Structure 1
Amino acid sequence: MSWYVIFLWIQTVILTSSFVYSEVCTKTKANNCQECIQSGPHCAWCKKENFTNAGEPDSVRCDTVRVLAERGCGETDIINPKSHPLSNYSQPLDGTVQLTPKRIVLQLRPGMSGEFEVKFKRAEGYPVDLYYLMDLSFSMNDDLENVKKLGNQLLLALNSITKSAQIGFGSFVDKTVLPFVSTHPEQLKNPCPDKPDSCQPPFSFKHILNLTGNGDTFKDQVGKQNISGNLDSPEGGLDAMMQVAVCGEKIGWRNVTRLLVYATDDGFHIAGDGKLAAILTPNNGECHLEDNTYKRSNEFDYPSVGQLAQKLSNNNIQVVFAVTSNMVKTYQDLSKLIPKSVVGGLSNDSSNVVQLITEAYQNLSSEVILDHGITPDFLDIQYDSYCSNGISNLNKAKGTCSNVKINEEIKFTVKVTATKCLPNQSFQIRALGFTDTVRVSVTTACDCVCNDAPDPRACNSNGATVCGICSCNTGHVGKNCECVTGGKTSQELEQSCRKDNSSAVCSGAGECICGQCTCHINEDPEKKTFGRYCQCDNWNCEMFDNKLCGGQGKCNCGTCTCDSGYEGSACQCKRSTERCKNVRGSICSGRGKCECNKCTCKGGYIPPLCEECPGCSSLCPHFGPCIECYIKEGQLNPRNCSDVCPGVTAIRTDQLTKTPFCREKDSDNCWMQYSIYEEDGEELYTITYTLKRECPEAPNIFAIVGGTIAGVIILGVICLFIWKLVTEFKDRKEYQRFETERQQAKWKTNVSPLFTNATTTVMNPNFDGDGE
């Protein structure tokens, strides 16, 4: 048993310690009480005079209560506002009041929740208003006949469970536009011409009967109704529900329990379906009843389910979906989105509607849901529900209890948290489906009430203390109002304590007093902050071997100052240059820095001694003009080559002993050859060159021109010869074809049958043969 007690004690100590040390005050910049308590829910302010030491900022007054107490701040000097109710107006729970308190004023510390208790007691026989909203499309014809007989039965059923009941009636079909309803003039008069009974013209929603306690009036008005018709299966029921919810005065709702019975055998249109009929204006959730008819249904789209749920909730209306068996699943899904609604299975002719409504009322009344509606974004509200059946629902967005019996009392703890300072706010907590509300007014504790005793000697008689710190008179500034501004504003004095425009005052490590920085004193005497702008310290230097400056130097404004014989950014090396010297004794070849006995080369040079220049090959074109100058200087060039070649030592030789490092063309298109060697240091080169150049020979113009002409002639002769051969070949081929055809001819070729010998004797027709 003793071990068990010890174990519990250890657990308690651990939990208590973790709770205490979990309270942390993060105060980045809290120069006064208001800034402090707005920094976090665990921040408190010490208003005790002379609480700070010399050089300490006023921000040390801001910390957790535990830390301030440890530093000697008394309980009466600690300002630490809490979240709690300021006033509570309660009423006893009786037959008329079911929810208490009626009003409550709550003060909230940002980040800290405030709690209060709400009680609910279900009253017996609470008044009920029931509005029967019926689908009058043709498929509900037989249902209408039964509903016409329901008036007195409904009232009798309701009066059996309540002291006062009223019933009303309305009906709906759909929007009177295509494709929902036929717009043919004849069918707009009678939408079901092929039916034996005539139908009334289609309509969106009609309010038939105001809520009344007279069952005969209900029976009489409903008895006058006729069935109507439309084209598609879904109906415009959501349009009708919206008007019933928002037209409270025209419907006749009392401030009692409100039930809306929605009877149908089909589905429903939702927001967006109106686009099928070119209705693009969203539903505005307002009342548009004219002569008890929703005449603007063709102007506004159907409401969304969320929009309808909000309006039903705001107007405290509970919905009973009385639907046929084929629609139960559809409306159960809809009921999940509408608070305080139930679904009941309606018989095909609605004969069981009275029993269905009675059971639905009992189910709705026995379920209590606390909700607060829409609140500002920076208020978080949660509920702990303690129900009579022993079930507790903690930290929920709504308070819920089911199966609450008549005259049974249940409790809720409401926890409200403000995440920031807010102007005065208010909201209502309602038990959905019931009329009682709790009005909550919220104020945020973001100001300090310190009640400092006036002391004329305080603040050097140049100001007054406010929550322990000085508020100076005009012309004086400083922690104790000790500085005279001398015509300068406090902003100008403060600017002189900034290193530059973007810097913090005194680098955030000191106070600006009379235009000069006084650096904060560190709790560790070995650590100090210094400098004109408190920009330096002696502990933020590089570490080596887990020691500041390797233990072989001192930290001075973020840089290590090494002891004699040591070097390096953290004084981690003994000073030596043995490994940094090249064969000529130059340290890092003059192109680097020897640190920790190792060369750190400048860009482009290669360790270990920075001798090799990987980019020297790219210098060949750079030195081309320089070498050309020296070559032509040897040929009596008047230019001064030392000006063209700074840092270059040129050595002429008759012949390069090794393959030239560079081979570049000069301005005469001749190839020059030279080698580059970089001396110790930067931009110092020795160049060895030769005067010999490889120049291209001049072209032989006569040979080029003669060769070109001869080539053209030869090419022309060859072309002519080829043309002649082709022509001869074609002629021979044609002649051979002619001969072949001639030999194959079938007539004689010696004498032509058409041939006639020439006439050799010519006679004169006038000559008679007698010659004279």
Structure 2
Amino acid sequence: MQGFTEEVEVTLNFICECNCHNDGIENSPVCHYGNGTFECGACRCNEGRIGQMCECSTDEVRTEDLDANCRADNGTTDICSNNGDCVCGTCECKKRENPEERYSGKYCECDNFNCDRSNNKLCGGHGRCECRVCVCDANYTGSACDCSMDTSTCLARNKQICNGRGTCECGVCKCTDPKFQGATCEVCPTCPGVCAEHKDCVQCRAFGTGDRKEFCDRDCRYFNLEMVESRDDLPQPGAEPFISHCKERDANDCWFYYTYAVKNDTTKVVHVVKVTECPDGPDITPIVAGVVAGIVLIGLALLLIWKLLTIIHDRREFAKFEKEKMNAKWDTGENPIYKSAVTTVVNPKYEGK
């Protein structure tokens, strides 16, 4: 270096062998049943053997880089996916505390316990986990086998899937008609009820009246009509899969009763009571008598009130007069404004003779 004149000479002596090399044990059992010499704390393998403990044969492993065969690809540094040990170029997967849980695969990349869960159950309790993917049982699907393909929970009372107004997904109805809702798409808050919907047709076919009587044959032939004698003869709830009991009023304010039922998913049957119930007309006599009596009573009440107010007013005025009389300051025995019509003149010359 500039400014320095000193020089240093370094002499290197290479040690090619350690002192412990002379103490090596040939064919030591430590080196996989005598397949190498144990020296300086490590195995020096015999010809045809490789590995840290000389446990592998060159006939079984084509490369001296044993770990290369235990990597999934050349770009990863994980040996046996960190789930096993590389033995002679082959992955031996680790054991888990739970004997039912295990790693598998060429690189220990698979397991049977890291699949999706549903309701805190592996594969929803309806499948098995294979290489971190759920294999579902019959009638189940989904990543966690939580989607049931059974459609019995979607059956409406008319035995139709979602009442014919939706699709059954995972055992739950998805209503396609926005007007309908509910578990089986049977509830329609904005729709007229079954009774109101069929009222006009039932009325025209059973009694020949109503708004549709002129078009009854054209519009109201979609159900079978059966007449019964009384309300007791109507079908009772539970007799049919889908039945409604109806009570409607006609134009004459008479009530008529009927039931609407669906049989075999398509056949519609209506039972109607032959006789309508009409309310009796009002009795005029009690109404007129009540009106007259009401008028008389109201008149008497008004008269009594007027009389009472008059009495109260008179008493107040009399009391006021008496009070003013007591407070008067003039002499009550002579009228102060009275002047006599007689004038008396005294003659000054008169001496009384």
Provide TM-score, normalisation by structure 2. Answer: 0.38
Larger radius of gyration: 2
